[in-house]
């Protein structure tokens, strides 16, 4: 028969052993993170998801990187020589760069990596079209020769929107760009511990002892990448309340994406700190299906601009004026390309004018307009609710079709009529870097069926995108951005719904968290005992 | 008896085949596309299509089914579209936490519920019986996730004696294992416990009015023996039935509990797979769940046959 006293003693003893084990393990420093999502794809060219980008920054390095003021700074590059005609760029790599397998980083690796990136990324494809040749000069040096002066070489190499041009060994970079790589060897500050990876639960990175950080101080994604932990663990905790409790109890150190309604609890906890690491923010978007009535008519698309009250969207999505701001600009406010050209409607919404434009266009108000509503998406769903109400307020008939986000992702590519599996309107949001200029993302494309879902089709806008890429200097780029903005309103490309910031929360023991203007990174920061 | 078991085992085959076909067709006919999820928000249509082709999702549905069914017959559940890890490995990686949670919950619930239900049934109408029934109503009424958060608040944030989340394998020591499994077990076990307790009470109560109980008492058998040896033993079939039904509850409940306590089990694996449309993983896990459920029913049927020989005929 079981002796209760004996059993209790055995259990207590086991707890003691466990506690001793913890003490022994603490000799190895570990940073425990709760990221915003599960890491599903390990190939940084295989997905544009933020979590894949974060994984990329853990294990790979880039030729250039953006500092916290949006300026490209050399990262793997030691020296750059640009020819007088600005057609040839010669890059020399830093000394002591090594891959995680111990091999030296060579110029041929970088050229192969850039080729793979150019096959997948919108900015990379644009660069490839302007390139005459990309050649290896020697082990440390490679050159890019353009057909005409190309203004955004360093900006492209340091971009963080969509696919980031991470460098990988030639043998891996030569994988078909549309097939996933099978080896995860980078030259960044941490190594991916594949044998410890539990998909959906835990991702583990180990310090790369041979990484040599730059000598400049860390700034944004640029400067010294000092890995201060032996191990960084990403714990995938889907439930917000559980993540909060784990952070409060000290089981985790850093939480990437607390929801805003938990802010008062976090601030009251006393042992936690919050910080906005992506000051650029996130931008809400409304997309039209340009191929179906009523939004095949630019007048109706413009009507929706007059119906857009950004404050209402921001209240619904975020709700805290300290963390959001209205922004009458296609390009995220606070970035160099911010411009309100052509966007008077967003500053002074006028539902009556919107209704009049629908009537002028001859739209039959009794016909339903199909809006896709992903009820499981915490940002897109409230955006949808606001649009639906605004449209109903002016007498439009709206068919709100509730579904999950994965279904929206599939359905938004459907070009069928709205009542046969297609759609008229849908919402989304993008990171500020995606909305930083007209080139980085397919969001701003107007290339008809080759462009973004909704299939906006306008040669002028496409020409302006190229013109922006070729513009010489910031002022010239700003002028083209304003031109693009005016034309984007005329054509009713899409509607920016305002912007907001999210914050990260971490233990008071953690310090030196970097402001990156994009995803958080886990070098440089440290943790006290 | 062997013929009975063989007959029951053979009847499982069509069940599994039907489940396999239904699962495959339901998934493929439901909206959603893993290629779109993989490609991310900023991918163009051409990139999505190339990913779809590379995954074989451009093949006709029938072709896809036969490829999958052929692999299945060889014991290969396929490879995850996202992680590129074999589904069998993914399931094995996640099986231990789920099985541990199910077993500890079962143990926790049965060990407490059967004695409590028996006492309540034998002392029907007493304060103890009424108290137990009150607790059982409460146990049914509290959603598992609410109870989970309450337990986390008390034991993890206030008393700081148990961790908030995670799972520690029993191979890493009984202490860490018990500390991580305690709260999820209590959370999931409560509803199961009160269910078994109520059924046990009702069943024992019914038996206590039977002639053979009166006979036993008339023979001067001690009341404790009357209850445990005569009433409880004859109440076993309904109790066993509800334990079997409870396994279905466990399978569905484990999804919520694994999310609340961040346990890397099969429940979370299947939810994640559904959200991103990882077809091979969803198919593999549903087949496994179905197989488990069917096998448990088989075990219960065999249990009936042992407990009541009339069932065999």
Q: What is the DSSP letter of A251?
A: S
Residue B56 forms contact with A (CB below 8 Å) = no
CB contact under 8 A, B47 and A443: no
From B33, B152, B157, residue closest to A410, measured CB to CB: B33
pLDDT for res A4: 44
Q: What is the CATH number of the domain that holds B296?
A: 1.10.3720.10
Q: Is the peptide bond before A294 cis (omega within 30 degrees of 0)?
A: yes
Across A33-47, A233-247, B10-24, B229-243, which has the greatest mean pLDDT? A233-247
Q: Which of A170, A197, A199 is nearest to A185 (CA)?
A: A170
CB contact under 8 A, A200 and B264: yes
A370 within 8 A of A416, measured Cβ to Cβ: no
Secondary structure string (H, E, C) spanning A353-403: HHHHHHHHCCCCCCCEEEEEEECCCCCHHHHHHHHHHHHHHCCCEEEEEEE
Q: What is the CATH number of the domain that holds A113?
A: 3.90.76.10
Please identify, among A154, A173, A192, the residue that sits at the C-terminal boundary of a domain. Answer: A173
End-to-end CA distance of chain B: 10
Q: What is the CATH number of the domain that holds A254?
A: 3.40.190.10
Structure tokens at B50: 């190339």
3-state secondary structure of B154: helix
Identify whether A345 is part of a domain.
yes
Q: Which of A141, A93, A148 is nearest to A126 (CA)?
A: A148
Pair (B158, B212) in one structural domain: yes
* Chain B 138-167, residues with CB within 8 Å of chain A CB atoms: 149, 152-153, 156-157, 160, 163-166
Confidence of residue B139 (pLDDT cuts 50, 70, 90): confident
Helix then strand count (H, E) for chain B reads 15, 0
Full residue range of the structural domain in which residue A98 is found:
64-173
Pair (B182, B302) in one structural domain: yes
> Which of A198, A199, A203 has the most B C-beta neighbours within 10 Å, making it the best mutation to test the interface with B?
A199
CB pairs under 8 A between A and B: 157
Q: Count of domains in chain A? A: 3
CB contact under 8 A, B268 and A200: yes
Q: In chain B, which residue's Cα lies nearest the Cα of A242?
A: B260
**CA B208, B212, B214: angle at the middle one, nearest 5?**
65
pLDDT for res A236: 92
CB contact under 8 A, A238 and B268: yes
Pair (A447, A375) in one structural domain: yes
CB contact under 8 A, B259 and A11: no
Please list, in sequence order, all residues whose beta carbon lies within 8 angstroms of the beta carbon of residue B307, skipping any fewer than 6 positions away.
Answer: B236, B237, B240
Pair (A130, A271) in one structural domain: no
Pair (A91, A208) in one structural domain: no
pLDDT for res A218: 95
- Can you tell me the distance from the alpha carbon of A416 to that of A283, in angstroms, rounded to the nearest whole number? 28
Pair (B107, B246) in one structural domain: yes
Residues forming beta bridges with residue A286, ordered by sequence position: A427, A495
Residue A402 forms contact with B (CB below 8 Å) = no
Pair (B60, B102) in one structural domain: no
CB contact under 8 A, A245 and B152: yes
The model scores a pTM over 0.90: no
Pair (A273, A387) in one structural domain: no
Please identify, among A123, A144, A173, the residue that sits at the C-terminal boundary of a domain. Answer: A173
- Can you tell me the distance from the alpha carbon of B33 to that of B48, in angstroms, rounded to the nearest whole number? 10
| Ranges of residues in chain A whose predicted pLDDT is under 70 | 1-27
- In whole numbers, what is the pLDDT of chain B averaged over residues? 86
Identify whether A510 is part of a domain.
yes
Pair (A203, A328) in one structural domain: no
Pair (A315, A402) in one structural domain: yes
CB contact under 8 A, B262 and A237: yes
Please list, in sequence order, all residues whose beta carbon lies within 8 angstroms of the beta carbon of residue B17, skipping any fewer than 6 positions away.
Answer: none
Pair (B47, B122) in one structural domain: no
Residue A246 forms contact with B (CB below 8 Å) = yes
Tell me the H-state helices in A30-98: 50-59
Residue A199 forms contact with B (CB below 8 Å) = yes
Residue A251 forms contact with B (CB below 8 Å) = yes
CB contact under 8 A, A122 and B160: no
Pair (B18, B167) in one structural domain: no
Residue B174 C-alpha, separation from nearest chain A C-alpha, in angstroms: 6
Secondary structure string (H, E, C) spanning A295-316: CCCHHHHHHHHHHCCHHHHHHH
Identify whether A49 is part of a domain.
no
Torsion of CA B4, B5, B7, B12, to 10 degrees: 150
CA distances from B96 to A176, A238, B91, B167, B264 (A): 37, 20, 9, 10, 9
Q: What is the DSSP letter of A420?
A: G
CB contact under 8 A, B173 and A14: yes
3-state secondary structure of A115: helix
Tell me the H-state helices in A471-527: 474-491
**CA A134, A138, A140: angle at the middle one, nearest 5?**
95
Pair (B52, B116) in one structural domain: no
ipTM over 0.85: no
Pair (B101, B155) in one structural domain: yes
Structure tokens at A325: 């701001």
Pair (A346, A420) in one structural domain: yes
Residue A222 C-alpha, separation from nearest chain B C-alpha, in angstroms: 24
Pair (A293, A384) in one structural domain: yes
Identify whether B83 is part of a domain.
no
Residue B18 C-alpha, separation from nearest chain A C-alpha, in angstroms: 26
Residue B178 forms contact with A (CB below 8 Å) = yes
Pair (B144, B262) in one structural domain: yes
pLDDT for res B24: 85
Q: What is the CATH number of the domain that holds A361?
A: 3.10.105.10
pLDDT for res B41: 66
HSE-up (13 A, CA, CB side) for residue A379: 21
CB contact under 8 A, B82 and A40: yes
Q: Count of domains in chain B? A: 2
> Which of B79, B92, B255, B262 has the most A C-beta neighbours within 10 Å, making it the best mutation to test the interface with A?
B262
Identify whether A9 is part of a domain.
no
CB contact under 8 A, B42 and A246: no
Full residue range of the structural domain in which residue B120 is found:
96-312
Identify whether B296 is part of a domain.
yes
Please identify, among A138, A154, A173, the residue that sits at the C-terminal boundary of a domain. Answer: A173
- Tell me which chain A residues have a C-beta less than 8 angstroms from the C-beta of B259: 238-239, 242
pLDDT for res A2: 40
A413 within 8 A of B36, measured Cβ to Cβ: yes
* Chain A 433-472, residues with CB within 8 Å of chain B CB atoms: 434, 441-443, 445, 449-453
Identify whether B232 is part of a domain.
yes
- Can you tell me the distance from the alpha carbon of A443 to that of A173, in angstroms, rounded to the nearest whole number? 26
CA distances from A74 to A55, A155, B255 (A): 21, 11, 47
Structure tokens at A380: 């897109």
Identify whether B144 is part of a domain.
yes
Please list, in sequence order, all residues whose beta carbon lies within 8 angstroms of the beta carbon of residue A301, skipping any fewer than 6 positions away.
Answer: A288, A290, A295, A491, A492, A493
Pair (A247, A213) in one structural domain: yes
Pair (B69, B143) in one structural domain: no
Pair (B48, B178) in one structural domain: no
Pair (A80, A108) in one structural domain: yes
Identify whether B82 is part of a domain.
no
Please identify, among B38, B73, B108, the residue that sits at the C-terminal boundary of a domain. Answer: B73
Number of residues written out for chain A? 529
Pair (B107, B48) in one structural domain: no
- Can you tell me the distance from the alpha carbon of A133 to that of A117, in angstroms, rounded to the nearest whole number? 15
Pair (A151, A211) in one structural domain: no
Return the H-helix or E-strand segment holding B35: helix B34-39
Pair (A255, A339) in one structural domain: no
Q: In chain B, which residue's Cα lies nearest the Cα of A10?
A: B175
């Amino acid at each position: 028969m079981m002796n209760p006293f004996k059993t209790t003693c055995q259990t207590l003893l086991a707890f003691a052993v466990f506690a001793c084990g913890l003490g022994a393990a603490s000799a190895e420093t570990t940073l425990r993170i709760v990221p915003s999502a599960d890491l599903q794809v390990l190939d940084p060219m295989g997905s544009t998801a933020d979590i894949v980008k974060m994984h990329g920054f853990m294990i790979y390095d880039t030729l250039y990187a953006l500092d916290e003021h949006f300026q490209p700074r050399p990262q793997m590059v030691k020296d750059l020589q640009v020819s007088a005609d600005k057609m040839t760029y010669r890059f020399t790599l830093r000394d002591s760069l090594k891959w995680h397998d111990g091999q030296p980083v060579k110029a041929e690796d970088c050229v192969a990596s850039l080729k793979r990136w150019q096959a997948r990324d919108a900015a990379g494809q644009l660069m490839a079209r302007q390139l005459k040749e990309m050649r290896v000069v020697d082990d440390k040096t490679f050159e890019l020769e353009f057909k005409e002066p190309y203004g955004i070489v360093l900006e492209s190499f340091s971009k963080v929107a969509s696919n980031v041009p991470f460098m990988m060994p030639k043998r891996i970079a030569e994988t078909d760009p549309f097939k996933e790589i099978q080896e995860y060897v980078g030259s960044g500050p941490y190594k991916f511990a594949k044998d410890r990876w539990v998909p959906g639960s835990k991702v583990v990175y180990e310090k790369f002892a041979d990484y040599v950080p730059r000598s400049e101080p860390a700034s944004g994604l640029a400067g010294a990448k000092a890995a201060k932990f032996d191990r960084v663990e990403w714990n995938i905790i889907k439930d917000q309340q559980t993540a909060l409790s784990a952070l409060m109890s000290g089981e985790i150190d850093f939480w990437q994406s607390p929801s805003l309604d938990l802010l008062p609890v976090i601030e009251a906890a006393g042992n936690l700190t919050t910080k906005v690491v992506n000051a650029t923010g996130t931008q809400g978007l409304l997309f039209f299906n340009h191929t179906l009535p009523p939004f095949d008519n630019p007048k109706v698309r413009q009507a929706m601009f007059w119906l857009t009250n950004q404050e209402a969207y921001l209240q619904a999505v975020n709700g805290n004026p300290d963390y959001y701001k209205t922004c009458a600009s296609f390009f995220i406010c606070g970035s160099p390309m911010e411009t309100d050209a052509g966007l008077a409607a967003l500053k002074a919404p006028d539902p009556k004018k919107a209704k009049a434009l629908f009537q002028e266009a001859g739209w039959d108000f009794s016909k339903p307009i199909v809006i896709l509503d992903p009820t499981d998406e915490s940002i897109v769903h409230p955006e949808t609710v606001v649009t639906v109400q605004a449209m109903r307020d002016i007498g439009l008939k709206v068919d709100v079709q509730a579904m999950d986000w994965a279904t929206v992702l599939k359905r938004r590519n459907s070009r069928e009529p709205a009542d046969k599996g297609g759609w008229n309107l849908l919402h989304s949001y993008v990171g500020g870097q995606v909305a930083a200029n007209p080139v980085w993302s397919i969001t701003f494309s107007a290339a008809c069926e080759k462009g973004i879902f909704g299939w906006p089709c306008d040669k002028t806008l496409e020409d302006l995108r190229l013109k922006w890429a070729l513009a010489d200097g910031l002022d010239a780029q700003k002028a083209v951005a304003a031109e693009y903005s005016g034309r984007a309103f005329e054509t009713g490309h899409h509607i920016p719904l305002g912007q907001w910031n999210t914050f990260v929360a971490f233990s008071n023991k953690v310090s030196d968290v970097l402001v990156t203007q994009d995803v958080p990174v886990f070098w440089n920061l440290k943790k006290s005992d | 008896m062997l013929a009975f078991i063989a007959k029951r085992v053979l009847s499982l085959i069509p069940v599994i085949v039907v489940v396999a076909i239904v699962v495959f067709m339901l998934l493929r006919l439901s909206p959603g596309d893993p290629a779109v999820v993989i490609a991310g928000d900023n991918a163009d249509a051409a990139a999505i299509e190339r990913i779809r082709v590379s995954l074989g999702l451009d093949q006709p549905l029938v072709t896809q089914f036969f490829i999958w069914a052929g692999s299945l017959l060889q014991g290969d559940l396929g490879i995850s579209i996202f992680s590129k890890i074999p589904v069998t490995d993914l399931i094995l990686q996640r099986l231990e936490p789920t099985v541990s949670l199910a077993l500890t919950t079962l143990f926790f619930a049965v060990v407490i519920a059967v004695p409590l239900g028996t006492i309540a049934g034998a002392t029907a109408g007493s304060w103890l019986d009424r108290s137990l029934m009150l607790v059982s109503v409460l146990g049914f009424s509290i959603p598992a996730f609410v109870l989970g958060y309450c337990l986390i608040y008390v034991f993890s944030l206030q008393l700081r004696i148990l961790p908030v989340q995670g799972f520690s394998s029993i191979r890493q020591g009984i202490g860490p294992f018990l500390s991580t499994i305690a709260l999820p077990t209590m959370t999931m076990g409560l509803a199961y416990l009160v269910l078994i307790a109520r059924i046990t009470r009702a069943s024992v109560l019914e038996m206590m009015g039977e002639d053979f109980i009166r006979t036993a008492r008339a023979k001067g058998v001690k009341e404790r023996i009357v209850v445990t040896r005569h009433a409880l033993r004859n109440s076993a079939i309904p109790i066993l039935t509800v334990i079997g039904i409870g396994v279905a509850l466990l399978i569905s409940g484990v999804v919520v509990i694994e999310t609340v306590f961040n346990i890397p089990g099969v429940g979370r694996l299947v939810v994640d797979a559904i959200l991103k449309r990882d077809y091979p993983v969803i198919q593999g896990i549903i087949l496994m769940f179905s197989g488990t459920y069917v096998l448990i029913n088989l075990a219960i049927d065999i249990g009936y046959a042992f407990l009541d020989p009339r069932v065999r005929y």
